[in-house]
Structure 1
């Protein structure tokens, strides 16, 4: 890709950008990277252009795109940050500086190194979320051209992408980038499994596409009758998510019934529910697979209605219903903040989409042991979630594998401390029970109940483990103090 192709791409995206600024950034990068080539044989500055296009597709602003074009110059050339500041100003210089500082850290096997890497990412995100957006785009283009590297480097980068960057994209709500990062990582980490799965799915592609078209045609007619304006599309589920489902359910591909999904985009919330009603009147729904993410958004603020129905031939079809605004948020996540808002900088610091960053930084300070913090990240940040209900019908979000005791600590620390038992769906269950999506959980408490060491073997969330350890440590400190006083009196 050259400059003219880059500008043409921006024009086709109808992005409202400062083109003269981007041309200046390109020329600056071209001069700085003169003579430098990538492993692919392409000029080095092409990488900046590709990174910029990815960000333009995510609706980012001109400053972010300009920074992406020159994001490697400080790290890989003799250009200094002061020169960038003099040429492009403070804002763009700070973005480049943030990306450079992340780039200086390598993902290490040592726990301390991993924790420091995450800490740098979190601090950068807290200062300006656009830094991590540039880094995500940078990583995505690197993954697209990964085949040019040595095998051991390919494996390391692909694993790092799956462990760090794809989950971060997910938490930022950037569905398109997250899915492509996962697909590319899967292809490189398990090439044989990837190819086998791809071939099996292709074998039944025509049949599945025909089914989806039939269902979509029926839906279109019925929604028109109901007076609902809708945009209906069918899509194949991504290979990595299908692979994860096969592993999680321990079943062959033939037992995975929802390899394709129908997406319906409507104008407002009311139309979402009316569409759902039309669907359930047409086909038999599977109740346990219904999700209302409009009333209870995911932790990345994803919103939609999900339902799975049984169509003629006993086939399962998953249908997602969302508004256009919800769709923008699902596709672009935090980047949707800049859509049609050229010139805006950070989202509101109180934006709920960024609250988890502050929470992680606080937890990192609290958890001095690097291993504990990494466990917290893997369980509470990057783990798949389940959704369970309180007795009053409120929805609670927990990591997959959580127990009633995890639920108790999620509700309130004191409820966790005094938990003596639990009911799930109205029946008494052991505290070791693994909760499932849709469970209704009631915690029984007693003022006489206190935490004990065995609880650490029951809970899965680091939040619960941390609170239990704090309580046990406090009691041990008190016990030692009392023992010391008694010995002093003798």
Structure 2
């Protein structure tokens, strides 16, 4: 007891004022013997460094290429190390070297290792990094960067939707007009307004109407009884994009094509990236309540285990959700799994979620996602 309270083992029994659960987990006599043995083999500087490392068993001490010491919690990765140096280094990290050898970013660091971070100017934090890092500092920095990136993307999309809506009524989406609209709507600033437009919290039509009440009728939807989409003029034809296959209930946007009318895309369709600079072709759209076709076909990309009866159960599950399979095709066959695309006829996005949730609960379904086929873009 006296040794644990006042002797060399006290370093193991107490750390930062917290008593260890088992103060005798490390045998002091053996520890002293190992230190004595190493004192005969190493120089004094190396000996003292090793002692400091062992006194903090819940920490790892790594070295920068210049020899500076970086202290991290045990289990930390090169990404944690990068963010410990500077947020800018962490955000631009692409890979790392440990003792001169390139390693994956999820590698666990060990005491005494020399770590070098490799950065790239165009690199941005990935959402998957949250699961790689262990320190609160790194997690907070990654989340902050992802939020800023999302807002930037929404602002850019909002700018395109605003320009298209203003052009539709012969007006210009000037900075002054947008600032005025933001103030009238009780929003913080123009950037906040654009972010809400891009994230579908606010329709562009509403911004035009609040600035130009006299044009409300011109912006009003000209939809006949057979049209499920609002935002088109009477002479504009439309069709669903087959690359993303949007369904009622999800955010949509239109792109005008010469000779094809307006193609309706889901707001997160990757095909929209090629139109970022062509703002005059964007049309702010939304689904009309109660004016939908009976069903809309959506492709599901599914990976299932290669076991007897699995495919039959998948088809049965889809049928139990009152959905019909219109096509089924295999895209990959392996000894352990099959990958296939199933085209399902659905009512709306809620119906889609019901089907996907039922399939996700099936133990033999390894992965499921909406099928995106950019080869089928207009």
- Is the structural similarity TM-score above 0.5? no
Q: Comparing both chains, which one has the higher relative contact order based on Cα–Cα distances under 8 Å and sequence gaps of 6 or more?
A: 1
TM-score (norm 1): 0.28
TM-score, length-normalised on structure 2?
Answer: 0.35
- Which structure: larger Rg? 2
